[in-house]
Amino acid sequence: MTSSSFPVVRLRPNVRPQAIKRGAPWVYDNELVTDRRTKALQPGAIAVLQDAERTPLALVTVNPASRIIARVLDLNTQAVIDQAWVNTRIEKALTMRDRLFTAPFYRLIHAEADGMPGVIIDRFGDVAVVQPNAAWAETNLDFITKALLDVAGVKTVLKNATGRARVLEGLNEQSMVLAGDAPNQPVEVAMNDAIYMADLIDGQKTGLFYDQRLNQRFAASLSRGGRVRDVFSHVGGFGLATLGQGAVSALCVDSSDAALDLAQKGAERMQVADQLETRRGDGFEVLAALAEEGARFDVVICDPPAFAPNKKALEAGLRAYERVARLAAGLVEEGGYLGLCSCSHAANLDKFRAASLRGIGRAGRAASLIPTGFAAPDHPQHPHLAESGYLKALFFRL
Q: Return the pLDDT at 4.
A: 59
Mean pLDDT (whole number) for 238-245:
98
Q: Does position 9 have pLDDT exceeding 60, yes or no?
A: yes
What's the pLDDT band for 1 if we cut at 50, 70, 90? very low
Q: Does this model's pTM top 0.85?
A: yes
Mean pLDDT (whole number) for 162-181:
92
Mean pLDDT (whole number) for 214-233:
97
Q: Return the pLDDT at 2.
A: 46
Q: Mean pLDDT of all residues in the chain? A: 95
Query: Please, is 4 exposed, middle or buried when counting C-beta atoms within 10 Å of its C-beta (0-12, 13-18, 19+)?
Result: exposed
- Nearest-angstrom CA–CA distance, 101 and 122: 14
Domains of the chain from N-terminus onward? 3-74 (2.30.130.10), 83-179 (3.30.750.80), 187-397 (3.40.50.150)
Mean pLDDT (whole number) for 38-53:
96
- Nearest-angstrom CA–CA distance, 272 and 256: 21
Q: Return the pLDDT at 5.
A: 82
Sheet containing strand 26-28, edge to edge, reads: 8-10, 45-50, 56-62, 68-74, 26-28
Determine which helix (DSSP H) or strand (DSSP E) holds 187, and give its type and residue range: strand 187-191
- Nearest-angstrom CA–CA distance, 298 and 305: 23
Mean pLDDT (whole number) for 274-294:
96
Mean pLDDT (whole number) for 23-48:
95
Nearby residues of 80 by Cβ (< 8 Å), 6 or more positions away: 1, 2
Of 33-37, 227-231, 352-356, the poorest mean pLDDT is in 33-37
Q: Does position 145 have pLDDT exceeding 90, yes or no?
A: yes
Q: Does position 205 have pLDDT exceeding 90, yes or no?
A: no
- Nearest-angstrom CA–CA distance, 186 and 48: 43
Q: Does position 56 have pLDDT exceeding 50, yes or no?
A: yes
Cα 240 to Cα 37, 101, 333: the distances in Å are 54, 20, 21
Q: Return the pLDDT at 387.
A: 83
* 288-338 residue pLDDT tens: 999 999 999 999 999 999 999 889 999 999 999 999 999 999 999 999 999
Nearby residues of 296 by Cβ (< 8 Å), 6 or more positions away: 227, 331, 332, 333, 336
The torsion angle over the Cα atoms of residues 241, 244, 246 and 252, rounded to 10 degrees, is 50
